Structure 1
Amino acid sequence: MTVESVGALVKRTLPQIVAVLAGTLAAISDGMQYGWTAPVIPILLGPNSPVEVTPAQTEWLETLLMLGSFSGLSLTIFFVDRIGRKRSLLLSSFVTLLVWLVTALAPRVEYIFAARAFSGAAGNMAFVAAPMYVAEIADQKIRGFLSSIIYLMMLIGVLIIYSVAPFVPFYAHCVIGGALVSIELIVFPFMPESPYYLLYKNKPEEARKSLQWFRPNQNVEKELEDIKAAVQRQVTERGKPQDLIMVPSNRRAILIMAILNWAQHFSSISVLFMNMHVILEAAGSIYMANSIAAILFAVIMLVAASIASICIDKFGRRTLLILSSILTGLCLLVIAIYFTLKNMEYNVAAISWIPIVSVMLYACVFKLGLGMVPIVLTAELFPAKMKAMGMTIADGMYVTSSLLSLLIYQKLKDSYGMEYPFYIFSISCFFAALFTALFIPETKGKTLEEIQFILKGQKAPRKSVDSA
């Protein structure tokens, strides 16, 4: 692709880029919530804590975020189809704004408990509605890039909370998080709703205006007819919960997302995010302060994710997934072997740099594929009738696998040694690479309608303008 063609593509898709950026600003705030406990718990346990907190109470601060995500599953399914993708994102942002306000002013830790639970529910809704919205407005040539922006925003949030929270008054990071969602609440209402959703709700004229806004100076009639045909075909299919299992194409989609969401967390990402200080301390690494290591880890992830967002529409989903899974597995295998040698009382002082280097390499290779591609595929694989339910269940699997990975890590580490969970995480990555090679189709450059034919094992009747 030439420089001129890239420039022309950006100019042609600029309204889509603007809408996606406006609609995913709250993901920065969600990233701050996800990484919040690592820098904030030491503050809450310190002498200048704004509220009185016990060590036992701090353990609930991570758990309640996940439990809040679970509690929001049914509401997410209801809202994204009832009020739309756009309004669901705005509702999520409004709740998140209240969360930051309560957190900043909380007189007791119970208020923060409630805020964390509501934050989990709001984040769940955002991470379902945003990929749906993006996939349904995006030009197929940049759909992968636009779909990955939400993860880039989340990583920016993690970096912000790591870099800011330890060094400023407690309320300051809450002001930053609240300001971000406030900007989305001000700007995003001016963006159109997804034309896909509008046609799903039988609003053809509004869908035409929406598509014209996203495709300026283009004749949208052909694409509008393609979307209409796709929606009409998909909504005539059964849309009951059991159809995720009974319909072969839906079953294949939910299996793919179950394995990928499982693989993401069983590649140890949640474990490293929430226990990096403990892991590096156990490794005996003396080459970098833990706080600096955490910031560097987040920076490397953000850079790698940015590169992946550019490459995902060039090299394809499968290539990045396979390569990333293999390299991530190798990084974790090195960490496991190091801890094995250390626990066997070998002198590892001369190679104590290996764990921190492996962790930083992990940050790079994980986000090049395994940490980015699943969010893109989630929005591509489910048909219109099953999209809300399928994506929400996939998000539930994401939360479940996160909790299980943390539980397995703690149990094995405490009972047998630090190396055992990392051997399991490494094997999981290699399995993810094999599964991708054998079962996951390439969706690069395909319309949402064509992807459904691929999942059904059928050939699309004709090549059409992107209906997403």
Structure 2
Amino acid sequence: MWKMEGRFLQFIAVLSGTLCAVSDGMHYAWTAPIIPILQRPDSPISITHRDVVWLESVYMIGGMAGIPFIIYSVDRFGRKATILIGTLQHIISWIMIAFAPSVEYFYVARFISGFAANVDFVAAPMYISEIADKKVRGFLGSSIYLMMLVGILIIYSVAPFVSIPLSSAVGCSFLIIELFIFPFMPESPYYHVSKGNTEAARKSLQKLRSTETNIDKELEEILTIVKRRQCEKRRYTDLVRMRNSRKAVLIVTTLNLAQHFSGYSVILMNLHSILNDAGSMLSSSNAAIIFSALMLVAAMFSSVLIDKAGRRVLLCGSSILTGFSILALAIYFAIKNSGHSVERYNWVPAASAMCYAVFFKCGMGLIPIVLTAELFPSSVKAMGMATASAMYSVSSVVSIYVYQFLSEMWGIHVPFFVFGIFCFLAALFTVLYIPETKGKTLGEIQILLNSKPCSNATNNIENKLDTPEYVNLLLQEMQVSKT
């Protein structure tokens, strides 16, 4: 286990800065326990089936609408200020939900919360990757997903048993704590340097590296990276023009597709029906709590291992085991749909779903957001991470559509076979294309991405990464590499 010494403030900054992710997790899963309450005869606000569809989709629409703002805000106002803006937006959303006199207020609140959720996929990962020591960057970066899972677990555990205003107050309480602590945390040294305030960047590094007596080397690297960024004209075309950013786009796009085409959104939205097929003795509410708790425990376990075992090992192993879990579901439903009796095996869907919760969150559900924060070069990081956020939303919607279409045309087992195969393809992609970023600085990662996809060349680069002359030479080559 990595030592806390010298990294205590990093831990506090990340913990306080990601409390908004708890709120986002609660917003993300809010419809699952709340819609049944709103559909009751004694509901405080009556809703129709059309309202249900909009309550679920308007959150994603808000997320798409917020992408241009997040790109502008992280560079204009800073990572820290952007996170605080998102926190305030979440608070407004919870207040509107708590005192909503009609369903239209829910629409607006869900849109605002989706808009603010971009903080968890762009500003917060960027902030963490830029303040964290390279030895614990993976652990700290994974905290965003952990916080979101905590939020999902909380809303599943609280919302079915209390009033809507009270569950909203629970979500708002985490944000109030964040407003009391996070404003006192250091801003990213990268942002300070980008604004020409080198002294502020030095002070920020000194606070974040409290036991380090010499931060000049790291500050010099930051100055080099940011200077190169400022010399480059930032355009969306740079995401595909530069070799390193082009690789980053391909990796994060594939990983986002893999997340949702492993059946993540589909299983979350159809968990109750799967458990009913298993003849589970648990109520839907209790089953959802167990499922979300398993995801949280698995993600916590993975976050500890991510800086020890590495990103590639966890991602590859998770993809394979998740694929087997999905195929077990596919085989079960194929046998059932063929007319054969499956009474003796009606435990398979529940067991597969719970295994899925563990295996998915041990890698596929955690590592992509860490890699997204690490892989993009500084010059296009905001645009790259916003693009990744957009791909996350789009791939989620597409995977759900594919599931519904294939299920209606050929049966529920067909999309599960597709999802299982996609998991194995994700494992193959990880082995062949994704570089290991464990223990490397952001500058060193860009050198790896800018190298040709040859294992011997990559190994040679890794062996020379600690040579300052070699690093400076490759940084210069990266500046002119546009092919």
Shorter-chain TM range is over 0.9
Code of the aligned partner of 2:238? D
* Contact kept in structure 1, 2:153 and 2:292, CA below 8 Å: yes
In structure 2, C-alpha distance between the alignment counterparts of 1:41 and 1:416, rounded to whole Å: 30
Q: Which residue of 2 aligns with 1:150?
A: 144
Structure 2-normalised TM-score?
Answer: 0.93
In structure 1, C-alpha distance between the alignment counterparts of 2:237 and 2:225, rounded to whole Å: 22
Q: How do residues 181-196 of structure 1 correspond to structure 2 at under 5 angstroms?
A: 181-196=175-190
Aligned to 1:337, which of 316, 331, 338? Answer: 331
Code of the aligned partner of 1:246? R
Number of aligned residue pairs: 459
Q: Deviations over 1:319-373 (max 9, x none)?
A: 1111000000110000011001111111101100011001000000101111111
* Contact kept in structure 1, 2:97 and 2:164, CA below 8 Å: no
Q: Which residue of 2 aligns with 1:100?
A: 94
Aligned to 2:52, which of 54, 58, 63? Answer: 58
In structure 1, C-alpha distance between the alignment counterparts of 2:360 and 2:62, rounded to whole Å: 26
Shift of 1:280: 2.4
In structure 1, C-alpha distance between the alignment counterparts of 2:43 and 2:250, rounded to whole Å: 45
Q: Which residue of 2 aligns with 1:268?
A: 263
Q: Which residue of 2 aligns with 1:250?
A: 245
Runs of 4+ in 1 over 6 A off after TM superposition: none
In structure 1, C-alpha distance between the alignment counterparts of 2:467 and 2:266, rounded to whole Å: 43
Shift of 1:271: 1.3
Code of the aligned partner of 1:395? S
Shift of 1:235: 3.1
Aligned to 1:327, which of 289, 307, 321? Answer: 321
Shift of 1:279: 2.5
2:23 matches 1:29: yes
Q: Which residue of 2 aligns with 1:68?
A: 62
Change (3 A) 1:27 1:353: same
Q: Which residue of 1 aligns with 2:104?
A: 110
2:381 matches 1:379: no
In structure 2, C-alpha distance between the alignment counterparts of 1:320 and 1:347, rounded to whole Å: 37
* Contact kept in structure 2, 1:45 and 1:55, CA below 8 Å: no
In structure 2, C-alpha distance between the alignment counterparts of 1:156 and 1:242, rounded to whole Å: 37
Shift of 1:424: 1.2
2:420 matches 1:426: yes
Shift of 1:177: 0.7
Q: Which residue of 1 aligns with 2:310?
A: 316
Structure 2 gap ranges (5+): 453-460, 472-483
Cα RMSD (Å): 1.5
2:364 matches 1:367: no
In structure 1, C-alpha distance between the alignment counterparts of 2:352 and 2:95, rounded to whole Å: 38
Q: How do residues 379-458 of structure 1 correspond to structure 2 at under 5 angstroms?
A: 379-457=373-451
Shift of 1:126: 3.1
In structure 1, C-alpha distance between the alignment counterparts of 2:446 and 2:238, rounded to whole Å: 15
Aligned to 1:463, which of 461, 466, 469? Answer: 466
**Greater displacement, 310-319 / 233-242:** 233-242
In structure 2, C-alpha distance between the alignment counterparts of 1:288 and 1:188, rounded to whole Å: 40
Structure 1-normalised TM-score?
Answer: 0.95
Shift of 1:284: 4.1
* Contact kept in structure 1, 2:18 and 2:144, CA below 8 Å: yes
In structure 1, C-alpha distance between the alignment counterparts of 2:407 and 2:36, rounded to whole Å: 22
Q: Which residue of 2 aligns with 1:235?
A: 230
In structure 1, C-alpha distance between the alignment counterparts of 2:116 and 2:366, rounded to whole Å: 21
In structure 2, C-alpha distance between the alignment counterparts of 1:137 and 1:209, rounded to whole Å: 12
Q: Which residue of 2 aligns with 1:84?
A: 78
Shift of 1:220: 1.7
* Percent identical: 51
Q: How do residues 28-47 of structure 1 correspond to structure 2 at under 5 angstroms?
A: 28-47=22-41
Q: Which residue of 2 aligns with 1:202?
A: 196
**Greater displacement, 417-426 / 302-311:** 417-426
Helix, strand or coil for the counterpart of 1:315?
coil
